[in-house]
Amino acid sequence: MAKTDEQLKEAAEMDHHHFVKTLAAFKFFGPHLLKRVERSRAYYHSLPSAHHKLIREFDENLRNVEQCISHNNDLIVNIIKHSAPDIFNGEHAYELNPNSTPNGKDLNDGQTVAVREKFGPFAFTDTEMDKVRSALKQFVRDWSVEGKPERDICYQFVIDDVLELFNPKKINPADVNILVPGAGLGRLAWELAHHGYTCQGNEWSLYMLIPAYFILNTCKQINEYKLYPWVAQFCNNMSREDQMSPVYFPDVCPADLPANVHFSMAAGDFVEIYTDPNTWDCIATVFFIDTAHNILNYLDTIWHILKPGGYWINFGPLLYHFSDIPGEDSLELSYSELRLAIKRLGFEIMREETGIQCGYTQNPSSMLSYNYNCVYGLFRKPLTEVSTANIISESTTVKESE
């Protein structure tokens, strides 16, 4: 159903509001962390003098942490200033003036701000600050030397499969269309383009799209920028230096792509924006499929937009991002339930591996690490579509544990 002009205008306004608010969240992250340091300092000063003698470097250590936070904040201001100038006609440069509420609008979506921290016309929850924190750690995973171990585990599967399935010695890689949904800061999509494939990254979150734009369009040389990705981590530090250790990015020059390669990033919801059938030769999902309310919608879309004979490569856990978020729908399938659904939909399972240990934006020096026990799968949409009715009939005898 086509939208009316009024609806389109309203949607554009909402998008703009969301964009400006995300920029403000990035900008507020520094002040938010500085407040947190201030609370630590206040508690330290309330301690008895005997305790001050035991940890007398503490105050100075906090000052060093503050310097790292300030450095990150300068970098964020730079990202905001230089990124995405062609979105919303540069209106993102709008000043986040603490005393003005532009257009007299409620910029907090009408929600209560009781548990939010206020900043200019906006106010933020811890969840929004966590999204900035995750984005900064994503710089490490996708664009630093320190992120290579993580990339080598999960992206390499995809790259190796693509090089084998679409051998550049036999096929012109520019003729192979690859889609990477959940592209984050774009490294995997860039790697595939770097190998000459026509590749599009797709990402929904502005918390990823804004820094991705900065890296892909602004960074010109290796190790151009410094970032303190772990400075918000106050617990589980072996030493205070670990909290303040810097990383440099990018570890490669993002502009270093073969001439005339088709590489793009598309903003939006995977299910909504990819509707053309039989379009892609390959779809690569890494730490992505568990971001759906209903993972079967992702499966439907992948099946629909893959060319007959096309491949879906998947890697990741099943965290289900909307699970246990109040008011959000979430369908949490086990891997064996998901695997059955994939087969019943008609995919052929070409390769499969389980139990692959992989971190996600891990701080290597932290005393706490989250390790994912990932599954990898290479699936193929058959050249001749099998009747869905047959598939369903055939698989009624299939047990979950097969």
CA-CA-CA-CA dihedral for 138, 144, 146, 148, to nearest 10: 90
Question: How distant, in Å, are the alpha carbons of 276, 282, 392 from that of 385?
Answer: 17, 17, 14
The nearer residue to a copy of itself, 2 or 54, going by C-beta atoms, is: 54
DSSP string across 11-65: HHHHHHHHHHHHHHHHHHHHHHHHHHHHHHHHHHHHS-HHHHHHTTTHHHHHHHH
Query: How near is the Cβ of 317 to a copy of itself at its closest, in Å?
Result: 4
The nearer residue to a copy of itself, 222 or 341, going by C-beta atoms, is: 341
The nearer residue to a copy of itself, 19 or 28, going by C-beta atoms, is: 28
Query: How near is the Cβ of 154 to a copy of itself at its closest, in Å?
Result: 14
Query: How near is the Cβ of 318 to a copy of itself at its closest, in Å?
Result: 5
The nearer residue to a copy of itself, 273 or 331, going by C-beta atoms, is: 331
Question: How distant, in Å, are the alpha carbons of 21, 229, 230 from that of 28?
Answer: 10, 16, 17
The nearer residue to a copy of itself, 70 or 294, going by C-beta atoms, is: 294
- The C-alpha atoms of residue 390 and residue 392 are separated, in whole angstroms, by 5
DSSP state of 366: B
State yes or no: cis peptide before 326, omega within 30 of 0. no
The nearer residue to a copy of itself, 195 or 339, going by C-beta atoms, is: 339
283 token code pair: 């779809």
Query: How near is the Cβ of 55 to a copy of itself at its closest, in Å?
Result: 5
The nearer residue to a copy of itself, 71 or 293, going by C-beta atoms, is: 293
Query: How near is the Cβ of 254 to a copy of itself at its closest, in Å?
Result: 31
The one-letter amino acid code at 49 reads S
In total, the chain counts a number of residues equal to 402
The nearer residue to a copy of itself, 299 or 305, going by C-beta atoms, is: 299
Per DSSP bridges, beta strands 225-227 and 247-249 are antiparallel
The nearer residue to a copy of itself, 23 or 154, going by C-beta atoms, is: 154
Nearest to 335 by CA among 298, 295, 285, 305: 295
For the chain, first and last CA: distance in Å?
42
Per DSSP bridges, beta strands 280-286 and 306-316 are parallel
255 token code pair: 């502009």
Place of tokens 């995300």: 22
Query: How near is the Cβ of 181 to a copy of itself at its closest, in Å?
Result: 19
DSSP string across 110-154: T---TTSEEETTEEE-HHHHHHHHHHHHHHHHHHSGGGHHHHHHH
Query: How near is the Cβ of 131 to a copy of itself at its closest, in Å?
Result: 16
Query: How near is the Cβ of 323 to a copy of itself at its closest, in Å?
Result: 5
Query: How near is the Cβ of 66 to a copy of itself at its closest, in Å?
Result: 15
Interface residues with a copy of itself (CB under 8 A)? 36, 40, 43-44, 46-47, 51, 53-55, 57-58, 61, 115, 234-243, 290, 294, 296, 299, 317-320, 323-324, 326, 329-337, 340-341, 344-345, 354, 366-375, 392, 400-401
